[in-house]
Structure 1
Amino acid sequence: MLIDCHCHLDLYREPAIVAGSLRSEECLVLSVTTTPSAWRGTSALGSGIPGVHTGLGLHPQLAGERASELGLMESLVPAAEFVGEVGLDGTPELRQSWPTQTRLFDAVLASATRAGGRVLSIHSRRAAGEVAARLQAFPDAGTPILHWFSGSLKELQLAVEIGCWFSVGPAMLRSKRGRGLIERMPRDRVLPETDGPFARDTSGQPLQPTGAREVQAGVAEMWGEPADVVTARMDEGAAVIRGRMHEVSAPLPPRYRS
Protein backbone atom coordinates (compact mmCIF):
# COMPACT_ATOMS: atom_id res chain seq x y z
CA MET A 1 0.00 0.00 0.00
CA LEU A 2 1.13 3.54 -0.74
CA ILE A 3 1.06 5.48 2.54
CA ASP A 4 1.65 9.22 2.82
CA CYS A 5 0.43 10.48 6.18
CA HIS A 6 1.21 14.16 5.58
CA CYS A 7 1.20 16.04 2.30
CA HIS A 8 -0.37 19.24 0.95
CA LEU A 9 -2.23 18.24 -2.21
CA ASP A 10 -3.66 21.72 -2.73
CA LEU A 11 -0.24 23.40 -2.76
CA TYR A 12 1.36 21.52 -5.66
CA ARG A 13 1.80 23.49 -8.87
CA GLU A 14 -0.68 21.14 -10.58
CA PRO A 15 -2.72 19.68 -7.72
CA ALA A 16 -5.35 17.97 -9.89
CA ILE A 17 -2.65 16.01 -11.72
CA VAL A 18 -0.99 14.92 -8.46
CA ALA A 19 -4.33 13.86 -7.00
CA GLY A 20 -5.30 12.08 -10.21
CA SER A 21 -2.10 10.02 -10.09
CA LEU A 22 -3.46 8.36 -6.94
CA ARG A 23 -6.65 7.02 -8.53
CA SER A 24 -5.07 3.72 -9.52
CA GLU A 25 -3.21 3.30 -6.21
CA GLU A 26 -4.21 1.30 -3.17
CA CYS A 27 -3.31 4.06 -0.75
CA LEU A 28 -3.79 5.97 2.45
CA VAL A 29 -2.94 9.61 1.75
CA LEU A 30 -3.64 12.22 4.42
CA SER A 31 -3.87 15.53 2.60
CA VAL A 32 -3.59 18.36 5.12
CA THR A 33 -4.67 21.97 4.79
CA THR A 34 -3.21 25.09 6.37
CA THR A 35 -6.41 27.15 6.74
CA PRO A 36 -10.06 26.19 7.34
CA SER A 37 -11.11 28.23 4.33
CA ALA A 38 -9.02 25.92 2.09
CA TRP A 39 -10.70 22.75 3.35
CA ARG A 40 -13.62 22.48 0.96
CA GLY A 41 -11.59 23.08 -2.19
CA THR A 42 -8.91 20.62 -1.10
CA SER A 43 -11.58 18.04 -0.23
CA ALA A 44 -12.77 18.27 -3.83
CA LEU A 45 -9.28 17.27 -5.04
CA GLY A 46 -9.60 13.93 -3.27
CA SER A 47 -13.24 13.37 -4.12
CA GLY A 48 -13.80 9.93 -5.61
CA ILE A 49 -10.34 8.65 -4.63
CA PRO A 50 -11.04 6.14 -1.83
CA GLY A 51 -7.62 6.32 -0.20
CA VAL A 52 -7.34 10.12 -0.04
CA HIS A 53 -8.57 11.88 3.09
CA THR A 54 -8.56 15.65 3.59
CA GLY A 55 -7.66 17.23 6.93
CA LEU A 56 -9.09 20.41 8.36
CA GLY A 57 -6.14 22.58 9.30
CA LEU A 58 -5.05 25.81 10.92
CA HIS A 59 -1.27 25.95 10.64
CA PRO A 60 0.57 27.51 13.59
CA GLN A 61 2.79 29.54 11.26
CA LEU A 62 -0.36 31.30 10.04
CA ALA A 63 -1.88 31.83 13.48
CA GLY A 64 -1.15 35.54 13.57
CA GLU A 65 -2.88 36.28 10.27
CA ARG A 66 -5.61 33.62 10.32
CA ALA A 67 -6.84 33.72 13.92
CA SER A 68 -10.16 35.09 12.64
CA GLU A 69 -10.81 31.68 11.03
CA LEU A 70 -11.00 29.89 14.39
CA GLY A 71 -14.81 30.10 14.45
CA LEU A 72 -14.97 28.50 11.01
CA MET A 73 -12.52 25.83 12.15
CA GLU A 74 -14.61 24.98 15.19
CA SER A 75 -17.79 24.79 13.13
CA LEU A 76 -16.20 22.38 10.61
CA VAL A 77 -14.50 19.90 12.97
CA PRO A 78 -17.65 17.74 13.34
CA ALA A 79 -17.80 17.39 9.54
CA ALA A 80 -14.08 16.61 9.03
CA GLU A 81 -12.60 13.12 8.70
CA PHE A 82 -9.41 14.21 10.39
CA VAL A 83 -7.72 17.38 11.62
CA GLY A 84 -4.42 18.68 10.28
CA GLU A 85 -2.16 20.53 9.96
CA VAL A 86 -2.43 22.02 13.44
CA GLY A 87 -0.04 22.46 16.34
CA LEU A 88 2.60 24.85 17.61
CA ASP A 89 5.81 26.35 16.22
CA GLY A 90 8.40 27.70 18.64
CA THR A 91 10.89 29.14 16.16
CA PRO A 92 12.17 32.61 17.14
CA GLU A 93 10.58 34.40 14.19
CA LEU A 94 7.14 33.26 15.38
CA ARG A 95 7.61 34.23 19.02
CA GLN A 96 5.20 37.14 18.69
CA SER A 97 2.35 34.85 17.66
CA TRP A 98 2.96 32.27 20.41
CA PRO A 99 0.04 33.35 22.66
CA THR A 100 -2.28 33.18 19.65
CA GLN A 101 -0.87 29.81 18.61
CA THR A 102 -1.50 28.27 22.00
CA ARG A 103 -5.01 29.70 22.20
CA LEU A 104 -5.91 28.33 18.77
CA PHE A 105 -4.36 24.91 19.39
CA ASP A 106 -6.23 24.54 22.68
CA ALA A 107 -9.46 25.51 20.95
CA VAL A 108 -8.87 22.97 18.17
CA LEU A 109 -8.16 20.19 20.67
CA ALA A 110 -11.29 21.13 22.61
CA SER A 111 -13.34 21.01 19.40
CA ALA A 112 -11.92 17.60 18.48
CA THR A 113 -12.79 16.36 21.97
CA ARG A 114 -16.39 17.57 21.66
CA ALA A 115 -16.64 15.86 18.27
CA GLY A 116 -15.67 12.51 19.81
CA GLY A 117 -11.98 12.59 18.87
CA ARG A 118 -10.17 12.90 15.56
CA VAL A 119 -6.95 11.70 13.97
CA LEU A 120 -4.69 14.77 14.26
CA SER A 121 -1.66 15.58 12.10
CA ILE A 122 0.43 17.85 14.33
CA HIS A 123 3.27 20.30 13.71
CA SER A 124 5.63 20.57 16.71
CA ARG A 125 8.81 22.27 15.52
CA ARG A 126 10.73 23.60 18.55
CA ALA A 127 7.55 23.08 20.56
CA ALA A 128 7.35 19.33 21.16
CA GLY A 129 7.16 19.67 24.95
CA GLU A 130 4.36 22.23 24.76
CA VAL A 131 2.48 20.12 22.23
CA ALA A 132 2.75 17.09 24.51
CA ALA A 133 1.54 19.11 27.50
CA ARG A 134 -1.55 20.21 25.60
CA LEU A 135 -2.26 16.70 24.39
CA GLN A 136 -2.11 15.60 28.02
CA ALA A 137 -4.60 18.34 28.89
CA PHE A 138 -6.98 17.07 26.17
CA PRO A 139 -6.60 13.28 26.39
CA ASP A 140 -9.79 12.59 24.44
CA ALA A 141 -8.94 14.81 21.46
CA GLY A 142 -8.12 11.73 19.38
CA THR A 143 -5.10 10.03 17.83
CA PRO A 144 -2.11 12.38 17.49
CA ILE A 145 0.38 11.85 14.67
CA LEU A 146 3.45 14.04 15.14
CA HIS A 147 4.58 15.11 11.69
CA TRP A 148 8.35 15.46 11.07
CA PHE A 149 9.15 15.23 14.79
CA SER A 150 12.37 17.06 15.68
CA GLY A 151 12.27 17.36 19.46
CA SER A 152 14.70 16.06 22.06
CA LEU A 153 14.97 12.43 23.18
CA LYS A 154 13.22 13.37 26.43
CA GLU A 155 10.37 14.95 24.48
CA LEU A 156 10.21 11.91 22.23
CA GLN A 157 9.85 9.63 25.25
CA LEU A 158 7.02 11.76 26.61
CA ALA A 159 5.28 11.70 23.24
CA VAL A 160 5.59 7.91 23.15
CA GLU A 161 4.19 7.61 26.68
CA ILE A 162 1.07 9.60 25.83
CA GLY A 163 0.35 7.46 22.76
CA CYS A 164 1.57 9.59 19.85
CA TRP A 165 2.24 8.19 16.41
CA PHE A 166 4.96 9.57 14.13
CA SER A 167 4.97 10.33 10.40
CA VAL A 168 8.49 10.43 9.00
CA GLY A 169 9.73 11.43 5.57
CA PRO A 170 12.73 11.06 3.29
CA ALA A 171 14.19 14.30 4.66
CA MET A 172 14.37 12.77 8.15
CA LEU A 173 16.13 9.72 6.76
CA ARG A 174 18.79 11.96 5.20
CA SER A 175 19.52 13.65 8.54
CA LYS A 176 21.69 12.15 11.27
CA ARG A 177 19.42 13.68 13.90
CA GLY A 178 16.30 12.48 12.13
CA ARG A 179 17.63 8.93 11.87
CA GLY A 180 18.54 8.96 15.54
CA LEU A 181 14.97 9.86 16.45
CA ILE A 182 13.43 7.27 14.12
CA GLU A 183 15.63 4.58 15.67
CA ARG A 184 14.00 5.30 19.04
CA MET A 185 10.37 5.51 17.90
CA PRO A 186 8.01 2.58 18.53
CA ARG A 187 8.20 0.52 15.36
CA ASP A 188 4.46 -0.09 15.28
CA ARG A 189 3.70 3.65 15.42
CA VAL A 190 5.89 4.93 12.57
CA LEU A 191 4.25 5.78 9.23
CA PRO A 192 5.61 7.37 6.03
CA GLU A 193 5.01 10.94 4.94
CA THR A 194 6.41 13.29 2.30
CA ASP A 195 5.33 16.80 3.38
CA GLY A 196 5.23 17.53 -0.34
CA PRO A 197 5.49 19.91 -2.03
CA PHE A 198 7.51 21.63 0.74
CA ALA A 199 9.94 18.73 1.20
CA ARG A 200 12.07 17.90 -1.82
CA ASP A 201 13.93 14.92 -3.19
CA THR A 202 17.70 14.78 -3.66
CA SER A 203 17.40 16.46 -7.07
CA GLY A 204 15.53 19.41 -5.58
CA GLN A 205 12.11 18.49 -6.94
CA PRO A 206 9.01 18.59 -4.71
CA LEU A 207 8.28 15.16 -3.26
CA GLN A 208 5.19 13.49 -4.69
CA PRO A 209 3.04 11.20 -2.49
CA THR A 210 4.59 8.24 -4.31
CA GLY A 211 7.93 9.35 -2.84
CA ALA A 212 6.77 8.05 0.52
CA ARG A 213 7.66 4.53 -0.67
CA GLU A 214 11.34 5.21 -0.12
CA VAL A 215 10.64 5.69 3.60
CA GLN A 216 9.73 2.03 4.01
CA ALA A 217 12.98 0.88 2.41
CA GLY A 218 15.06 3.42 4.33
CA VAL A 219 13.53 2.59 7.68
CA ALA A 220 13.92 -1.15 7.05
CA GLU A 221 17.62 -0.70 6.33
CA MET A 222 18.10 1.43 9.45
CA TRP A 223 16.23 -1.00 11.69
CA GLY A 224 17.99 -4.01 10.16
CA GLU A 225 14.71 -5.66 9.19
CA PRO A 226 13.50 -7.12 5.88
CA ALA A 227 11.68 -4.54 3.78
CA ASP A 228 8.58 -6.72 3.51
CA VAL A 229 8.34 -6.95 7.31
CA VAL A 230 8.47 -3.17 7.70
CA THR A 231 6.03 -2.67 4.84
CA ALA A 232 3.57 -5.11 6.40
CA ARG A 233 3.87 -3.39 9.78
CA MET A 234 3.26 0.02 8.22
CA ASP A 235 0.26 -1.37 6.32
CA GLU A 236 -1.13 -2.56 9.66
CA GLY A 237 -0.51 0.86 11.18
CA ALA A 238 -2.25 2.54 8.25
CA ALA A 239 -5.22 0.24 8.78
CA VAL A 240 -5.39 1.34 12.42
CA ILE A 241 -5.35 5.01 11.42
CA ARG A 242 -7.95 4.42 8.71
CA GLY A 243 -10.10 2.66 11.29
CA ARG A 244 -9.95 5.73 13.52
CA MET A 245 -11.08 8.03 10.73
CA HIS A 246 -14.63 9.17 11.05
CA GLU A 247 -17.42 8.30 8.68
CA VAL A 248 -18.71 11.82 9.01
CA SER A 249 -22.45 12.40 8.94
CA ALA A 250 -22.51 15.83 10.59
CA PRO A 251 -23.98 18.50 8.29
CA LEU A 252 -21.81 21.29 6.97
CA PRO A 253 -22.52 24.74 8.36
CA PRO A 254 -24.61 26.94 6.00
CA ARG A 255 -21.57 28.79 4.63
CA TYR A 256 -20.16 25.52 3.30
CA ARG A 257 -23.28 24.01 1.78
CA SER A 258 -23.66 23.84 -1.99
Structure 2
Amino acid sequence: MKNLIDTHFHLDHYRNYFEIAKTITELEQYTICVTNSPGIFLSCKNLIPETKYLKFAIGFHPQETTLGGREINDFIRLISSTNYVGEIGLDYSQKSYMSKPLQLKYFEQIVEICASKNKFMTIHVRKAEKDAIRILEKYHPTKAIIHWYTGGCDDMLRLVDLGCYFSINTNMVKGSKKENYHLLPLERILIESDGPYTKVNNKKYTPALLKDAYEEISRFYNNPDLPRNIYYNFEKILLS
Protein backbone atom coordinates (compact mmCIF):
# COMPACT_ATOMS: atom_id res chain seq x y z
CA MET A 1 0.00 0.00 0.00
CA LYS A 2 1.22 3.48 -0.92
CA ASN A 3 0.07 6.97 0.00
CA LEU A 4 -1.44 5.95 3.34
CA ILE A 5 -2.95 8.78 5.35
CA ASP A 6 -3.51 9.13 9.10
CA THR A 7 -5.68 12.16 9.80
CA HIS A 8 -5.47 12.06 13.62
CA PHE A 9 -2.36 10.99 15.54
CA HIS A 10 -0.92 12.11 18.90
CA LEU A 11 2.83 12.15 18.30
CA ASP A 12 3.53 14.00 21.56
CA HIS A 13 1.84 11.22 23.57
CA TYR A 14 4.69 8.80 22.75
CA ARG A 15 7.88 8.83 24.79
CA ASN A 16 10.04 8.08 21.73
CA TYR A 17 8.49 10.84 19.62
CA PHE A 18 11.72 11.59 17.71
CA GLU A 19 11.96 7.99 16.57
CA ILE A 20 8.24 7.86 15.72
CA ALA A 21 8.49 11.07 13.67
CA LYS A 22 11.42 9.63 11.72
CA THR A 23 9.45 6.44 11.02
CA ILE A 24 6.45 8.37 9.66
CA THR A 25 8.62 10.13 7.09
CA GLU A 26 10.61 7.01 6.19
CA LEU A 27 7.37 5.11 5.55
CA GLU A 28 6.01 8.07 3.53
CA GLN A 29 2.73 8.07 5.47
CA TYR A 30 0.88 11.39 5.42
CA THR A 31 0.16 12.08 9.09
CA ILE A 32 -1.64 14.92 10.85
CA CYS A 33 -0.16 15.15 14.35
CA VAL A 34 -2.82 16.76 16.50
CA THR A 35 -2.10 18.62 19.74
CA ASN A 36 -4.25 19.55 22.73
CA SER A 37 -3.20 23.18 23.19
CA PRO A 38 -1.41 26.05 21.44
CA GLY A 39 1.55 25.62 23.81
CA ILE A 40 2.02 21.96 22.92
CA PHE A 41 1.66 22.79 19.23
CA LEU A 42 4.40 25.40 19.47
CA SER A 43 6.68 23.04 21.43
CA CYS A 44 6.20 20.29 18.85
CA LYS A 45 6.92 22.66 15.97
CA ASN A 46 10.10 23.84 17.69
CA LEU A 47 11.31 20.32 18.54
CA ILE A 48 10.43 18.29 15.46
CA PRO A 49 10.84 19.48 11.87
CA GLU A 50 7.76 19.08 9.71
CA THR A 51 8.20 17.14 6.47
CA LYS A 52 6.12 16.38 3.40
CA TYR A 53 4.55 13.56 5.40
CA LEU A 54 4.38 14.95 8.95
CA LYS A 55 2.33 18.04 9.80
CA PHE A 56 1.28 19.49 13.17
CA ALA A 57 -2.23 20.71 13.93
CA ILE A 58 -2.92 23.39 16.52
CA GLY A 59 -5.32 22.16 19.19
CA PHE A 60 -7.66 23.40 21.90
CA HIS A 61 -9.03 20.27 23.55
CA PRO A 62 -12.28 20.55 25.59
CA GLN A 63 -10.94 18.16 28.23
CA GLU A 64 -8.06 20.52 29.07
CA THR A 65 -9.28 22.58 32.05
CA THR A 66 -6.11 24.71 32.11
CA LEU A 67 -6.99 26.41 28.81
CA GLY A 68 -8.48 29.90 28.98
CA GLY A 69 -8.40 33.40 27.57
CA ARG A 70 -4.65 33.66 27.18
CA GLU A 71 -4.52 30.32 25.36
CA ILE A 72 -7.33 31.19 22.94
CA ASN A 73 -5.45 34.41 22.13
CA ASP A 74 -2.33 32.31 21.48
CA PHE A 75 -4.42 30.01 19.29
CA ILE A 76 -5.70 32.94 17.21
CA ARG A 77 -2.17 34.32 16.88
CA LEU A 78 -0.62 30.98 15.86
CA ILE A 79 -3.33 29.65 13.52
CA SER A 80 -1.78 31.43 10.55
CA SER A 81 1.33 29.22 10.93
CA THR A 82 -0.48 26.01 9.97
CA ASN A 83 -3.21 24.74 7.67
CA TYR A 84 -4.28 22.13 10.24
CA VAL A 85 -6.41 22.54 13.36
CA GLY A 86 -7.09 19.88 16.01
CA GLU A 87 -7.83 18.44 18.32
CA ILE A 88 -10.73 20.77 19.05
CA GLY A 89 -14.38 20.21 19.90
CA LEU A 90 -17.03 19.70 22.55
CA ASP A 91 -17.21 17.03 25.28
CA TYR A 92 -20.04 16.96 27.83
CA SER A 93 -19.34 13.40 29.01
CA GLN A 94 -17.70 14.38 32.31
CA LYS A 95 -18.17 17.33 34.67
CA SER A 96 -14.43 17.44 35.30
CA TYR A 97 -13.76 18.79 31.81
CA MET A 98 -13.81 22.45 30.78
CA SER A 99 -17.17 24.00 31.65
CA LYS A 100 -19.89 23.78 29.02
CA PRO A 101 -20.20 27.59 28.54
CA LEU A 102 -16.44 27.89 27.96
CA GLN A 103 -16.41 24.92 25.59
CA LEU A 104 -19.17 26.49 23.53
CA LYS A 105 -17.51 29.90 23.52
CA TYR A 106 -14.11 28.63 22.40
CA PHE A 107 -15.42 26.06 19.92
CA GLU A 108 -17.56 28.64 18.16
CA GLN A 109 -14.64 31.08 18.00
CA ILE A 110 -12.42 28.40 16.50
CA VAL A 111 -14.99 27.18 13.96
CA GLU A 112 -15.69 30.74 12.84
CA ILE A 113 -11.98 31.40 12.28
CA CYS A 114 -11.41 28.06 10.54
CA ALA A 115 -14.38 28.56 8.24
CA SER A 116 -13.22 32.06 7.26
CA LYS A 117 -9.62 30.92 6.68
CA ASN A 118 -10.58 27.53 5.16
CA LYS A 119 -8.56 25.50 7.67
CA PHE A 120 -8.58 21.71 7.98
CA MET A 121 -10.24 20.76 11.31
CA THR A 122 -10.27 17.46 13.20
CA ILE A 123 -13.12 17.65 15.71
CA HIS A 124 -13.84 15.75 18.93
CA VAL A 125 -17.57 15.53 19.76
CA ARG A 126 -18.90 13.51 22.69
CA LYS A 127 -22.44 13.83 24.09
CA ALA A 128 -22.54 17.29 22.48
CA GLU A 129 -23.69 16.47 18.96
CA LYS A 130 -26.62 18.91 18.84
CA ASP A 131 -24.47 21.89 19.85
CA ALA A 132 -21.72 20.89 17.43
CA ILE A 133 -24.25 20.64 14.61
CA ARG A 134 -25.72 24.04 15.47
CA ILE A 135 -22.31 25.75 15.36
CA LEU A 136 -21.12 23.96 12.21
CA GLU A 137 -24.42 24.78 10.52
CA LYS A 138 -23.91 28.45 11.38
CA TYR A 139 -20.45 28.77 9.80
CA HIS A 140 -20.39 25.99 7.16
CA PRO A 141 -16.69 25.05 7.21
CA THR A 142 -15.67 22.97 4.19
CA LYS A 143 -12.86 21.00 5.83
CA ALA A 144 -14.45 19.57 9.00
CA ILE A 145 -13.56 16.00 10.04
CA ILE A 146 -15.41 14.34 12.89
CA HIS A 147 -12.92 12.21 14.81
CA TRP A 148 -14.01 8.92 16.47
CA TYR A 149 -17.74 9.65 16.28
CA THR A 150 -19.78 7.94 19.03
CA GLY A 151 -23.18 9.59 18.71
CA GLY A 152 -26.43 8.44 17.15
CA CYS A 153 -27.30 7.82 13.50
CA ASP A 154 -29.59 10.83 13.07
CA ASP A 155 -26.94 13.29 14.22
CA MET A 156 -24.28 11.49 12.18
CA LEU A 157 -26.32 11.83 9.00
CA ARG A 158 -27.04 15.47 9.81
CA LEU A 159 -23.28 16.05 9.98
CA VAL A 160 -22.96 14.30 6.62
CA ASP A 161 -25.56 16.72 5.22
CA LEU A 162 -23.44 19.60 6.53
CA GLY A 163 -20.48 18.33 4.48
CA CYS A 164 -18.48 16.77 7.31
CA TYR A 165 -16.05 13.91 6.85
CA PHE A 166 -15.57 11.10 9.39
CA SER A 167 -12.25 9.54 10.36
CA ILE A 168 -12.48 5.83 11.20
CA ASN A 169 -10.06 3.84 13.36
CA THR A 170 -9.66 0.15 14.20
CA ASN A 171 -11.35 0.41 17.60
CA MET A 172 -14.42 1.94 15.99
CA VAL A 173 -15.01 -0.96 13.60
CA LYS A 174 -14.95 -3.39 16.53
CA GLY A 175 -17.04 -1.33 18.96
CA SER A 176 -20.73 -1.21 19.85
CA LYS A 177 -21.46 1.54 17.27
CA LYS A 178 -19.76 -0.25 14.38
CA GLU A 179 -22.91 -0.84 12.32
CA ASN A 180 -23.57 2.91 12.23
CA TYR A 181 -20.41 3.49 10.22
CA HIS A 182 -21.77 1.44 7.32
CA LEU A 183 -24.27 4.26 6.80
CA LEU A 184 -21.53 6.75 5.97
CA PRO A 185 -21.08 7.58 2.26
CA LEU A 186 -17.77 6.26 0.97
CA GLU A 187 -16.79 9.73 -0.23
CA ARG A 188 -16.94 11.05 3.37
CA ILE A 189 -14.68 8.45 4.99
CA LEU A 190 -11.08 9.03 6.09
CA ILE A 191 -8.81 6.91 8.28
CA GLU A 192 -7.22 7.86 11.58
CA SER A 193 -5.16 5.92 14.08
CA ASP A 194 -5.73 8.12 17.15
CA GLY A 195 -2.45 6.58 18.25
CA PRO A 196 -1.56 5.66 20.93
CA TYR A 197 -5.22 5.14 21.98
CA THR A 198 -6.10 2.31 19.59
CA LYS A 199 -4.90 -1.22 18.97
CA VAL A 200 -4.05 -3.06 15.77
CA ASN A 201 -3.48 -6.81 15.91
CA ASN A 202 -3.79 -6.52 19.72
CA LYS A 203 -0.81 -4.15 19.81
CA LYS A 204 -0.75 -0.50 20.83
CA TYR A 205 -0.76 1.53 17.67
CA THR A 206 2.50 2.74 16.14
CA PRO A 207 2.95 4.09 12.59
CA ALA A 208 4.47 0.77 11.50
CA LEU A 209 0.95 -0.67 11.94
CA LEU A 210 -0.89 1.80 9.70
CA LYS A 211 -0.88 -0.64 6.77
CA ASP A 212 -2.48 -3.30 9.01
CA ALA A 213 -5.05 -0.76 10.24
CA TYR A 214 -6.02 0.00 6.64
CA GLU A 215 -6.38 -3.70 5.91
CA GLU A 216 -8.64 -4.20 8.95
CA ILE A 217 -10.86 -1.24 8.08
CA SER A 218 -10.96 -2.31 4.40
CA ARG A 219 -12.26 -5.72 5.50
CA PHE A 220 -14.92 -4.04 7.65
CA TYR A 221 -16.18 -2.14 4.61
CA ASN A 222 -15.58 -5.12 2.29
CA ASN A 223 -13.70 -2.75 0.04
CA PRO A 224 -10.19 -3.69 -1.13
CA ASP A 225 -9.94 -0.32 -2.93
CA LEU A 226 -10.48 1.64 0.29
CA PRO A 227 -6.87 2.98 0.47
CA ARG A 228 -7.33 4.53 -2.98
CA ASN A 229 -10.72 5.95 -1.96
CA ILE A 230 -9.22 7.44 1.22
CA TYR A 231 -6.41 9.07 -0.72
CA TYR A 232 -8.92 10.60 -3.14
CA ASN A 233 -11.09 11.87 -0.24
CA PHE A 234 -8.10 13.40 1.50
CA GLU A 235 -6.94 15.06 -1.70
CA LYS A 236 -10.45 16.41 -2.25
CA ILE A 237 -10.72 17.91 1.24
CA LEU A 238 -7.32 19.59 0.92
CA LEU A 239 -8.29 21.14 -2.40
CA SER A 240 -11.75 22.26 -1.27
* Shared fold per TM-score greater than 0.5: yes
Give per-residue Cα distances to partners, 1:118-157, cap 9 Å, x unaligned. 1100000111222111111111x44100000111000111
Question: Out of 219, 222, 232, which is 1:221 matched to?
Answer: 219
Query: Residue 149 of structure 1 aligns to a residue in which SS?
Result: coil
Q: Distance in 1 between matches of 2:19 and 2:26?
A: 13
Matches within 5 A, 1:81-100: 81-94=83-96, 97-100=99-102
What are the superposed Cα offsets for residues 12-62 of structure 1, whole Å, 9 maximum, x if unpaired?
111111001012223220110000011122224552521111101000101
- CA apart distance, 1:159: 0.6
- Within 5 Å, give how 1:47-86 maps onto structure 2: 47-62=49-64, 64-68=65-69, 69-86=71-88
The runs of 5 or more residues in structure 1 that have no matched partner are: 245-258
CA distance in 1, matches of 2:42, 2:97: 30
Q: 1:54 to 1:48 in 2, by over 3 A?
A: closer
Larger helix percent? 1
Partner of 1:153: 153
Deviation above 4 Å: which 4+ runs of structure 1? none
| Matched-pair identity in % | 23
Q: Aligned-pair RMSD on alpha carbons?
A: 1.9
1:136 and 2:134 equivalent?
no
- For 1:100-139, list aligned pairs within 5 A: 100-114=102-116, 116-139=117-140
Sort the Cα spacing of 1:11 and 1:223 in 2 relative to 1 into closer, same or farther, 3 A.
closer
CA positional deviation for 1:216? 2.7
Letter in 1 for 2:32: L
Question: Which residue in 2 is equivalent to 1:192?
Answer: 191
For this pair of structures, how many residues does the alignment match?
237
Q: Label 1:75 to 1:217 Cα distance change in 2 as closer, same or farther (>3 A).
A: same
TM-score (norm 2): 0.91
Quote the offset at 1:201 in angstroms: 4.0
Instruction: Report deviation, 1:95.
Output: 6.7
Cα distance in 1 for residues equivalent to 2:215 and 2:196: 21
Secondary structure class of the residue paired with 2:95:
helix
1:195-217: CA deviation from partner (whole Å, max 9, x where unpaired):
112334454x5311343333432
Q: Which moved more, 1:234-243 or 1:145-154?
A: 234-243
1:90-135 CA-to-partner distances (Å, cap 9, x unmatched) read: 1033476111111110111122234x21110000011122211111
* Separation (CA, whole Å) in 2 of partners of 1:27 and 1:243: 19
Whole-Å Cα distance in 2 between the matches of residues 27 and 239 of structure 1? 14
Structure 2's unaligned 5+ residue stretches are none
- 8 Å contact kept, 1:169–1:195: yes
Aligned to 1:170: 170
Choose the corresponding residue for 2:207, options 187, 198, 209: 209
Q: What TM-score results when the alignment is normalised by the length of structure 1?
A: 0.85
Distance in structure 1 (CA, Å) of the matches to 2:98 and 2:43: 30
Residue identity opposite 1:206 in structure 2: K
